[in-house]
Structure 1
Amino acid sequence: MTWLIAARTVQGAGGGAIQAVASIIISDLVSLKERGVYNSLIGLTWGVACTLGPLVGGAFAQQGNWRWIFYMNLPIAGLSAALVFFSLKLRKPEGRTREKLARMDWVGNILIIASTSACIIGLTWGGIQYAWNSAHVLGPFIVGLCGIGAFLYYEAKFAKYPMAPLSLISNGTSISGYAQIFALPVINLAVTYYQETYYQACKGATAIRSGVLTLAVSLCLAPAMIICGLSITISKGYRVQLWLGWVVLIVAMGLMSTVDSRTELVKPQVYTGLVGTGVGILYAGTYFPVLAPLPISENAHALSFFIFCRSFAGVWGVTIGGAILQNQLQKRLPAEFLQELPQGVALAFSAIPSINNLEDPLRSDVRQAFAKSIASIWQVMVGIAGIGLISSLFMKAFLLHTQLDERWGLDEKQLQQSDQATIENDA
């Protein structure tokens, strides 16, 4: 297990870097005004991957060949690396390697990595390995939050080359964009994890079948991203699309909260399709309010912080959902079923395959307990979607940039002054 965790850490570092660098490259090659189309193309590839991934992974896991989930990525990663090496031709910033390394914000990186890791440890242990009010959970969580505060203070006061300059959150529109991209993955990851739990616990679905039943999310997400991206390119605006996305998501989560174990199978599929539509619209549009008010020289910083917020928020989605599910199952599961779990609700997930073997009425009671507990997650997600909608009301309508950052040789201060003048002229 230690080796698996270490390997996943390396994988996560590589995956996070790829996400950030891919977005930065596109921002260097395509102006913000035209970027909606390219976001749509990325959304299409992402939608296909999200559709195939759970099916293939579920098939391997069900057959006991879970290692192939990792093996199959080797040729895919190798092909991608070859395409990048031979096809991606970009200008290199001037300067020697030592000078570039000196411009790295090493202290800031160490602070934010250590702080977020501490928060993730607390969130992961909470309610599963240790009680939420235990020192094992509160200790790393408090240390992590204090560390994030120290990171922000260091970036504002001491960092010579800050990785997250305060200029990124110097206006209400950018803050609104960051708030929206933090709320969105909380909902998306909760649905991704716990809707499959519903199908397996309440409908007796296998891992493969539950993956098939959740295809509605991915099948609706990709076209929603494409349409939203095209509409932003054509209309040169982003606010109406984001408001629509949040409204769709609130309605979808509200409908999902009405589902129980006896609900016809088609209804949760339609509702999750609505979730995919809202999520697709929002994923395609949320970074426009982040970037539009900022100088183009801040693209790299802004996009890196944007992707950090998106990734960090995903942990909260899984953790919040898990905490709600554990607490609700503790209240709702029949005592007769709990007696079969020597460690209580903490092992309820591992007992899901055995639900089909229970006799009625115990089986129906257990399924209903899972359904009502998962419905409580969706009720909380309605509130989080409401927070996203409220934060979107603070966006202003900025003109989308038509310029590209092609002046790497200039001094950074001169770049920012020139870009700010360009924004004021556009406005």
Structure 2
Amino acid sequence: MERLPLHLQPEMTSTTTDTTGVGLRSDRGPILLALMVSTGLIAMDATILATAVPSVVRDLGGFAQFPWLFSVYLLAQAVSVPIYAKLADIVGRKPLMLFGIGLFLLGSVLCGAAWSMTSLIVFRAVQGLGAGAVQPMAITIAGDIYTVAERAKAQGYIASVWAVSSVVGPTLGGVFSQLGIWRWIFFVNVPLCLLAGALIARNFHERVERQQHRIDYPGATLLTVAMTLLILGILEGGQAWAWSSPTSLAVLGVGAGLLVAFVLVERRAAEPVLPLWVLSRRLLATTTMLALGVGVILIGLTSFVPTYLENSLGIDPLVGGLALAALTIGWPIAATLSGRLLYLRFGFRPAILVGMALVVVGTATLALASQHPSVAVVALACFVTGLGMGLVASPSLIAAQASVEWHERGVATGTNMFARSIGSAVGAAVLGAVANGVIARSGRPETDPATATDAGSAVFYGVLVAALLTVVAGALMPKVTAEQTPAPETP
């Protein structure tokens, strides 16, 4: 296959800081610190809740509804990311980052005060709307102020946040769960939100030329309703109604129809919320598919590993959380080393294919050993999978960012994050439906060790299938090299 050079123009940034050095002591260090703390909000939330799911269910009830705690959060995050991404290219990154942090803070306080599973699910949606701004804005700002080569170093700092959160999150979740104060899982976000907001407000300054633009509200509405109906149909099928019932067919059919309508609207929209040109470029299309697969794999492990271990082996939530932590320890280690060892030397596709090979090995080990639960085996499989994910998620996103101009970078980043969130939302729904189906057929409660083992096994085989399909996207990615770009300029 012919090697396609990655088209890289001099990078432009919305910040007025110097561009010398990478690190917390450099001129851009205060901004990097602000991005690290902001990322910590999302990183902590990714692991802290999964550990406490059994405790939440015991307190509020509704085990069959627990996948909604993840799906509704991820759905809200996913459908809002394209809107935030478009607004970021219009009004700038900083206002949206501060808005997202504030909304995440509000959602966290409401979740901590939830009085039922239904109210907790609703408030998780508020949290998701905040996360939809925070995570992609942090990544976009990093793309603005660092060149491709510098991002490999900056990624090490940001990845370290995930490493710390991967230990702190499950540990706090387990401790709060065992002490019977699971609500502090959400209240702990309050000081972090205040610190993140203060750092962004003080350290990040940008200059944006404001212009008149049109927001694609019809497209955003169609996308939100369509995905909500599809996830509702997947999660409730076989539970609230039979799969072949008129209700199930109607919900899924209307959701699919609205998704088709969304595509048609986007083709004619003046400024579409999800520009279809992103999918017309091979590099962006394949990195989007990689993000989709990463989302499914990530949610399959983070939401089910602790519950599987706690119910099948009867271990404490803290131990189950630490087994999951191996996943997010391996991820930042690989992400930190990926630039220097792989994609800056050999290109993005080799790094991604090596990563996907590790993901397949890790998920296959987890699936094949699932009928014989073992904390050590699960932790090792999660660690290997995390190493692979670090070689896939970061390089694919950096490749997508580097292939577009400044005014398109928010949309390119948002599309990638949207795909990951949609993958996670749909993955949580599908895998949750699989687990609930196994439990329903067994006729025993979800806490029964044999039932928990069978449900976990079914979920892990589903994750393995998702990993194998994601390998195809990596193989189809064009060969591109990460050439060092000139220092960022001020528009």
Matches of 1:69 and 1:222, distance apart in 2: 23
Matches of 1:258 and 1:68, distance apart in 2: 36
Matches of 2:402 and 2:335, distance apart in 1: 19
How is 1:65-214 mapped onto 2 (pairs within 5 angstroms)? Answer: 65-95=181-211, 99=212, 102-157=213-268, 159-214=269-324
CA spacing shift, 1:118–1:262, aligned 2, 3 Å: closer
CA spacing shift, 1:123–1:403, aligned 2, 3 Å: farther
Range with greater deviation from structure 2 (131-140 or 61-70): 131-140
Q: Contact 2:328–2:386 at 8 Å: present in 1 too?
A: yes
Runs of 5+ consecutive residues of structure 1 not aligned to the other structure? 342-347, 356-366, 409-427
Matches of 1:61 and 1:295, distance apart in 2: 46
CA spacing shift, 1:128–1:289, aligned 2, 3 Å: farther
How is 1:155-304 mapped onto 2 (pairs within 5 angstroms)? Answer: 155-157=266-268, 159-231=269-341, 234-235=344-345, 237-260=347-370, 262=372, 264-304=374-414
Q: Contact 2:344–2:482 at 8 Å: present in 1 too?
A: no
CA spacing shift, 1:282–1:233, aligned 2, 3 Å: closer
Range with greater deviation from structure 2 (45-54 or 11-20): 45-54
Matches of 2:143 and 2:473, distance apart in 1: 25
Summarize deviations over 1:122-147 as a string: whole Å, max 9, x none. Answer: 23323343333334444333323322
Q: Contact 2:227–2:259 at 8 Å: present in 1 too?
A: yes
CA spacing shift, 1:388–1:265, aligned 2, 3 Å: same
Summarize deviations over 1:302-338 as a string: whole Å, max 9, x none. Answer: 111111111111122222222222333445x4xxxx3
Matches of 1:179 and 1:14, distance apart in 2: 24
Matches of 1:54 and 1:130, distance apart in 2: 35
Q: Contact 1:33–1:233 at 8 Å: present in 2 too?
A: no
Shift of 1:287: 1.5
CA spacing shift, 1:262–1:390, aligned 2, 3 Å: closer
Summarize deviations over 1:370-410 as a string: whole Å, max 9, x none. Answer: 324422322232222111111111111234462688575xx
CA spacing shift, 1:77–1:198, aligned 2, 3 Å: same
Q: Contact 1:246–1:278 at 8 Å: present in 2 too?
A: yes
Which residue type is aligned with residue 459 of structure 2? I
Match of 2:106?
none
Matches of 1:240 and 1:185, distance apart in 2: 21
Output the TM-score relative to the length of structure 1.
0.80
Matches of 2:139 and 2:339, distance apart in 1: 15
The number of equivalent residue pairs is: 374
Q: Does 1:377 align with 2:488?
A: no
Matches of 1:178 and 1:318, distance apart in 2: 19
Summarize deviations over 1:96-115 as a string: whole Å, max 9, x none. Answer: xxx3xx43222222222222
Matches of 1:291 and 1:170, distance apart in 2: 15
Q: Does 1:307 align with 2:417?
A: yes
Matches of 2:281 and 2:425, distance apart in 1: 27
RMSD: 2.5
Matches of 1:262 and 1:232, distance apart in 2: 36
Q: Contact 2:401–2:412 at 8 Å: present in 1 too?
A: yes
User: Counterpart of 1:393 in 2: which secondary structure?
Assistant: helix
Matches of 1:404 and 1:114, distance apart in 2: 42
Runs of 5+ consecutive residues of structure 2 not aligned to the other structure? 1-115
Shift of 1:243: 0.2
Shift of 1:292: 4.5
Matches of 2:308 and 2:292, distance apart in 1: 25
Q: Contact 1:58–1:207 at 8 Å: present in 2 too?
A: yes
User: Counterpart of 2:476 in 1: which secondary structure?
Assistant: coil
Matches of 1:86 and 1:374, distance apart in 2: 46
Q: Contact 1:250–1:386 at 8 Å: present in 2 too?
A: yes
Q: Contact 1:28–1:404 at 8 Å: present in 2 too?
A: no
